[in-house]
Amino acid sequence: MSKEDIETLHVSVGYACNNACIFCMESNIPGLYDSVRRLISEGRMYRDMDTHGHMRKVSFGRGEPTLNPDLPKYVAYAKKVGFRDIAVISNGRRYADRDYCKTLIGSGVTEFIVSVHGHTKELHETLTRRKDSFAETTDGLKNLSDLKQEQSFRIVVNHVVNKTNCPFIGDFLKYMRGYSIDVIVLSVVQPIWWGNRAKLFPALMPRYSDVAKRIDGIRRRNPEWFLPDAGGECVSIIDLPWCCSSPLVGNIGFKEKRVSEQDERAPDSLAVAGKSKGLRCRECVYDGICDGVYDAYTSRFGWGEFVPVKR
Ligand code: SF4
């Protein structure tokens, strides 16, 4: 995966979802979650795509975009105005319908980003809190993997690493080798939980150093899983501070430039909200590119893990 900043237009086509992931940030935004089309302005969506059509990438996400029946129409419009890369961020359940996959591919989707949070039904559904979500999502991955033999598109799997699934990252990576995945993104859970959901922190938030240690152990035992051009999938890690992940720096994922949100009421800087730098961060070689650490994390665990990296 490229380390360059990729300018990406984010387009929201609805906030409803047929999963209820325990760590979901969208579900905490008051009033955004109760209907497919709520707060969606088609006119604004088209204007955004017209304005940013010169950019490389557009990404349809937030909520579950495949619940919006007009998604293929919006994808086709994105293709028409010139986006080269067109991604859909989804829980993948609708991809159990192979004809629907074909429709999206035919409309112009070049990248399917599918969220999978466990290698077993029990683990995945403990986190998605929706029965049968594992079978539908993995059937969807199978369909996409089969279709990829005939058509050109990428499959990216997003795996939100948290305290529940962290011990099984190795099993997950091994399981994913049964599909035709281009990139597996290990995305450490972001402690952005508002109000009374802050109580989830002890149950969900792993220590960054533990995550790094575990992934590095897996990498040492299975180096081929982490090489982008080895003919298999590549592993990319995000939301793990650089200073905690020194041995894994080659797999730290790209920083995406979120250019626009279609919905003005949705906070458009969630990824950087509530972060700070430590007193010694100025000594670190990554100071210029590091966003800092979530205050929710350091207020509980302190700054001891974050030792500046020297040249
Ligand atoms: S700038 Fe600070 S938080 Fe970021 S990698 Fe360096 S020491 Fe860690």
- What is the mean pLDDT of the segment spanning 98-109? 98
pLDDT tens-digit readout, 115-173:
999 999 999 999 999 999 999 999 999 999 999 999 999 999 999 999 999 999 999 99
**Is pLDDT at 204 greater than 90 in this prediction?**
yes
- What is the mean predicted confidence (pLDDT) over 241-267? 63
- Give the start-to-end residue ranges of the domains of the chain: 6-271
Mean pLDDT value of segment 193-203: 76
The band of 291, judged by pLDDT with boundaries at 50, 70 and 90, is confident
CA-closest residue to ligand 1 atom 7: 308
Q: Does the domain at residues 6-271 carry the CATH identifier 3.20.20.70?
A: yes
Is 70 a residue whose pLDDT tops 80? yes
Output the pLDDT for position 145: 97
Give the mutation target among 306, 307, 310, 311 for probing the ligand 1 site: most ligand atoms within 8 A of CB.
306
Helix ranges (DSSP H) in the chain: 42-52, 71-80, 98-107, 121-128, 133-147, 169-176, 201-204, 208-221, 295-301
pLDDT at 254 over 70: no
Write down the pLDDT at residue 256: 54
Average pLDDT over residues 66-90: 95
User: Which residues form the pocket of ligand 1, taking CB atoms under 6 Å from any ligand atom?
Assistant: 241-243, 277-278, 281, 284, 286-287, 290, 292-293, 306, 308-309
Cβ atoms of 116 and 72 within 8 Å: the answer is no
| Residue 82 phi, psi dihedral angles, 5° rounding | 110, 5
pLDDT of 163: 96
